[in-house]
Amino acid sequence: MAARVYLDWNATAPLRPEAREAVIAALDAVGNPSSVHAEGRAAKGIVERARGQVAALVGAKPSQVVFTSGATEAAGVLASAARHGAVIVEPTSHDCLWAHHDLTHAGSGADTLAMGFANSETGVVTPPPEKGADGYPFGALRAQSLLLDVTQAVGRLPWSFPWSGADLAILSAHKLGGPKGVGALLLRDGCDIDALQPGGGQELGRRSGTENVAGIAGFGAAAEAAGRDLEAGVWDRVAELRNILENTLASAAKETIFVGKEGERLPNTSLFVTPGWKGETQVMQMDLAGFAVSSGSACSSGKVKEARVLKAMGLDPLAAESALRVSLGPATTETEVMAFAEGWLAQEKKFRRRAA
């Protein structure tokens, strides 16, 4: 049986060896990070080392990093923001932000604007608006604070928290090769929030609960490794592979549309639409052929729901439901990319014959 090819890095990146080693080592730390004895201090040291590693990747201060169970929990800060004022969520944002769209208040202004920096489905990069004297512009609205979802961008594109202008940002370990179930909220100095989770007061009172020491250790190790990859230009090669894939498909599948191709995108992401050929059908066909791909965000897969992001971008309903996402990573090879292209084009030819 041929080896499977993993092309769904936007759903989750394979665990980095450095992260695996850090997790295993941290599992032997017996102490509670909140305990003052030697064992507790050792566990606390692991957490604080990782905090520094994550901070270094995004140009933040360690004190600005709040560890959470993932980006979704970190996005819960919007519920806190809504208790103090209006919140508006940009329409193409990930579900973890869009879940708070019912907090949006129509009116002349808003206190918090939440948006994605790089879209998980299309890879399209949306630079945040610059803050003017009356706040961050969003159509006719103005917001006084900005939350950025940088989950897909961090570790793949150069990004700096202080330079971004954001007041808050969310990210997740498993998108950059860390373990699943751990993430972070970044907070600008002076940005006060209600506790994400009440209790014992861990994370300086911002998120209570005994820290996931092993997960956090893996997050830190993955962040450090991701920084090295960025400096080495690893993702430039990934972008070249993505372009090879798209050019190969485009040369034979004339009716297929590549979303966001003309603008700035993540270096690893290709979302393409073949009208009439259901994305979910394509995923199943390619899975049977040995390729792991998706029809959009992993958080939306397996659910009967509208292709909200693509429709918000202006695609008609038929096209929006006919999308396939291929997301590559540093371990992806040209041989794998070309094997996928051959397999997909064979299925596309069959689809054309059936549709004729």
State pLDDT tens for residues 312-354.
Answer: 777 777 778 899 999 999 999 999 999 999 999 999 999 999 9
CA angle 118, 135, 149 (to 5 degrees): 20
State the chain's mean pLDDT as an integer. 90
* pLDDT confidence band for 299 (50 / 70 / 90): low
Instruction: Flag whether pLDDT at 245 surpasses 70.
Output: yes
The one-letter amino acid code at 172 reads S
Arithmetic mean of pLDDT, 23-32: 96
* Sheet with 257-258, side-by-side order of all strands: 257-258, 269-273, 323-327
What is the C-alpha end-to-end distance of the chain, expressed in Å?
34
Instruction: Flag whether pLDDT at 302 surpasses 60.
Output: no
Non-local (6+) Cβ contacts of 211 within 8 A are: 33, 43, 47, 67, 202, 203
With tokens 């917001």, the residue in question is 143
* pLDDT confidence band for 179 (50 / 70 / 90): very high
Q: What is the DSSP string of 6-30?
A: E-BTTT-PPPPHHHHHHHHHHHT--
* pLDDT confidence band for 259 (50 / 70 / 90): very high
Q: What's the sign of the alpha-carbon dihedral 227, 71, 73, 196?
A: positive
| The dihedral formed by the CA atoms of 332, 335, 338 and 339, expressed in degrees to the nearest 10 | -100
Non-local (6+) Cβ contacts of 111 within 8 A are: 81, 84, 85, 86, 87, 143, 144, 145
Which domains, from first to last, does the chain contain?
A: 5-14+233-355 (3.90.1150.10), 17-230 (3.40.640.10)
Partner residues linked to 170 by β-bridges: 149, 185
pLDDT of residue 303: 39
Q: What's the sign of the alpha-carbon dihedral 169, 170, 173, 174?
A: negative
Query: CA–CA separation, 60 vs 51, rounded Å?
Result: 10
* pTM, entire model: 0.92
- Percent of the chain surpassing pLDDT 70: 93
Arithmetic mean of pLDDT, 22-38: 96
Here the tokens at position 30 are: 């017996």
Question: Residues of 315-334 as b/e, b for ≥16 C-beta within 10 angstroms?
Answer: beeebbbbbbbbbbbbebee
* Neighbouring C-beta atoms of residue 302, cutoff 10 Å: 9
- Length of the chain, in residues: 356
pLDDT of residue 314: 72
Output DSSP code: residue 123. -
Higher pLDDT, 144 or 106: 144
pLDDT of residue 304: 37
Kindly list the catalytic residues. Answer: 299
pLDDT of residue 250: 97
